[in-house]
Structures are given as C-alpha cells and as structure tokens.
Structure 1
C-alpha cells in the first residue's frame, strides 16, 4: 500500500467514524412528528402495518417521521401526537 493510499484510507475511515458518532448523538434529541410523512417514507409501524416505509397515504395523521426536537411544531400539519 502506498502512502497516498494509506492516507486516503485513513481519511475515509475518520469521515465514517465521525458521521456515525453524529447520528448516534442525535438519537436522543429527536421526536416523532405525525402528519407530515410522505407515502412510503414513514418511520416505523403504524396502526395499519408493522414496518417503516409502508404508509399508503401522504400526510396521514397516524404516520410519523423522526425529526430533531422542536422541528415538528414548525411544520404545517405536524403534530407531536397521533391523529385519528
């Protein structure tokens, strides 16, 4: 392995490590936002299905996506509680 290749590999490894750490740190700073998910883009289960990405309707008040805390209340149609 040349020194150029080794430096590139180290840089990429560092980048991936920092990205993973950033996402792990944000996990505690998120909240469920109902009513704003696009069809097929929801996070986790809803009443009508058991898994993420299975919502059949956009902006369903029963479907949610995880967003940073404080963001949901700023989105039109967003709610911190599931709708009917």
Structure 2
C-alpha cells in the first residue's frame, strides 16, 4: 500500500475520516489528485501534466477531474524506478 499525505477528501468529511477510508476500501477505490501523485513521485506538477499529455500515465477521468488509483500510482512509480535504474546503468557504464 502507498503512503500518501493527499488522499482525495470526500465532500463534507472530517480529514481524520479520510485516513480511515484507506483501511475501509480496496486500493482501486481510493483516488488521488494529480498534485498528490506528483508529490509522491517527487516531480513538479507541470512535469506530471506533461506526462499526462504524452499519455505515459494510467488514470481515470471522473467528469472533468483526473484521478489516480493506488494501482495506477504503483505503475507510475515502477516506471520512474525503471528509468532511474537505466540512468544509473548508463552512468556506471560511462564511468
């Protein structure tokens, strides 16, 4: 399970209840904002939007909002880990 400070709050709900929501619902039903995902990945919001535009990230559209489930975030983070490993291999190979 992913630790995140930004779980999308339900309307008119207490923030403490939002933490409990992660325990109550399956991972694919807990949704995060783009800003939350960018923070989890350690990238800027503009970089996150660029990746969305390039269709590199899995996501869900609810009305006009973009939301990300925990499995989506795990796939996104795996992509970043893989890219970091490839960069490390290139650096070691050139050094």
TM-score, normalised by the number of residues in structure 2:
0.27
Greater RCO, 1 or 2 (C-alpha within 8 Å, sep 6+): 1
Give the structure-1-normalised TM-score. Answer: 0.29
Greater Rg by CA:
1
Richer in helix (by share): 2
